[in-house]
């Protein structure tokens, strides 16, 4: 058997083997490529990733939801929650809170929320009325809220401070038995709605498909593997042409 024929048979054997391996990557590249081309039509560019393991893979930690129930004078099932930097009334974002949410209470027509160093007032519909920081008069170190009739109580290191939302006056007060509001678990429907909103501002399925298509989903090793698959596909094409061209009798004239 001639050397050229031996080489042709060896090339044909490896052509088949490489083809089986590369076929897996070809299917993945074709499927992800088609999906990327139609991501806008299929809504993949706006559909957020919700899988916890995928979010962790991208280094996005699970958000911490902190919620406070409001009393029944507002409406049944009303909650004030913090997720990330967002401040929410039930399932609607009403503002922001860059520091931890420490409490929320509702008066007859006003909702008061306390973040570290920041007291915010909202209407029952969630419209902001005022934002009082320590530089604007909020007692330093306010760490908890309570309600005494139509007066908001703030617990501070120097004692209890009363805040009248009608006069916007702060004054020291001697009070015993104040019930300081504490965080609690919001209903599952509220939790799911807020988590969906939070994740909706993050990674989309389109981003996942792009990273899978390029191999970046698996880091530098993934890009290297896709590069190898591309080289292998090129070798298959070249070896296929070579096998076809060198087939015995290919160029004989009848």
Last residue of a domain, one of 200, 215, 231: 200
**194 has pLDDT over 70:** yes
Looking at the structure, do residues 134 and 90 belong to the same domain, yes or no? yes
Rounded (5°) CA angle 11-15-21: 145
Give the dihedral of Cα atoms 32, 34, 36, 40; nearest 10 deg. -140
**Is residue 88 domain-shared with residue 133, that is, in the same domain?**
yes
Is residue 65 within 8 A of residue 83, CB to CB? The reply is: yes
Share the mean pLDDT of the chain: 82
Do 88 and 135 fall within a single domain? yes
pLDDT attached to residue 77: 66
Number of domains in the chain: 2
In a domain, 156, yes or no: yes
Element (H, E) at 160: strand 159-164
Q: How many CB atoms lie within 10 A of CB 138?
A: 20
Half-sphere exposure of 104 (CA within 13 A, CB side): 30
**Range of 12's domain?**
3-47+204-245
pTM for this entry:
0.60
Say whether both 193 and 69 belong to one domain: yes
CB 45, CB 206: distance < 8 Å: yes
**81: exposed, middle or buried (C-beta count within 10 Å: 0-12, 13-18, 19+)?**
buried
Q: Output phi, psi for 132, to 5 deg.
A: -115, 115
Say if residues 144 and 155 touch (Cβ distance below 8 Å). yes
What is the tens place of the pLDDT at every residue in 30-78?
Answer: 888 888 888 888 888 777 777 777 777 777 666 789 999 986 544 456 8
What's 191's domain CATH number?
Answer: 2.130.10.10
For the chain, percent of residues with pLDDT exceeding 70? 83
Tell me the mean pLDDT in the region 191-217: 79
The predicted-structure confidence for 80-103, as pLDDT tens digits, reads as follows 999 888 899 988 999 998 899 999
Beta strands in 32-78 (DSSP E): 65-69
**Which position has the higher pLDDT, 54 or 141?**
141
Is residue 108 located within the same domain as residue 179? Answer: yes
**Least confidently predicted of 7-11, 44-48, 50-54, 107-111:** 7-11
Planar angle of CA 40, 224, 226, nearest 5 degrees = 45
Look at residue 201 in the predicted model and tell me its pLDDT: 59
CB 46 within 8 A of CB 204: yes
Asked whether residue 41 falls in the same domain as residue 88, the answer is: no
């Amino acid at each position: 058997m001639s050397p050229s024929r031996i080489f042709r048979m060896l090339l044909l054997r490896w052509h088949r083997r490489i083809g089986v391996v590369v076929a897996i990557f070809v299917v993945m590249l074709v499927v992800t490529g088609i999906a990327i081309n139609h991501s806008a039509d299929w809504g993949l560019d706006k559909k957020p990733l919700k899988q916890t393991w995928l979010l962790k893979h991208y280094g996005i930690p699970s958000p911490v939801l902190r919620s406070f129930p409001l009393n029944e004078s507002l409406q049944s099932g009303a909650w004030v929650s913090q997720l990330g930097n967002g401040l929410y009334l039930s399932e609607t974002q009403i503002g922001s809170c860059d520091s931890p949410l420490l409490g929320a209470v509702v008066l007859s027509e006003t909702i008061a929320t306390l973040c570290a160093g920041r007291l915010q007032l909202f209407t029952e519909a969630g419209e902001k009325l005022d934002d009082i920081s320590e530089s604007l008069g909020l007692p330093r170190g306010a760490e908890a809220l309570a309600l005494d009739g139509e007066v908001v109580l703030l617990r501070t290191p120097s004692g209890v401070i009363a805040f009248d939302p009608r006069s916007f006056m702060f004054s020291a007060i001697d009070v015993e038995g104040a019930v300081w509001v504490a965080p609690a678990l919001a209903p599952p429907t509220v939790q799911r709605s807020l988590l969906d909103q939070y994740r909706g501002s993050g990674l989309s399925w389109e981003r996942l498909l792009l990273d899978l298509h390029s191999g970046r989903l698996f880091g530098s090793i993934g890009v290297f593997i896709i590069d190898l698959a591309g080289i292998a596909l090129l070798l298959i094409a070249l070896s296929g042409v070579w096998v076809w061209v060198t087939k015995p009798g290919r160029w004989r004239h009848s």
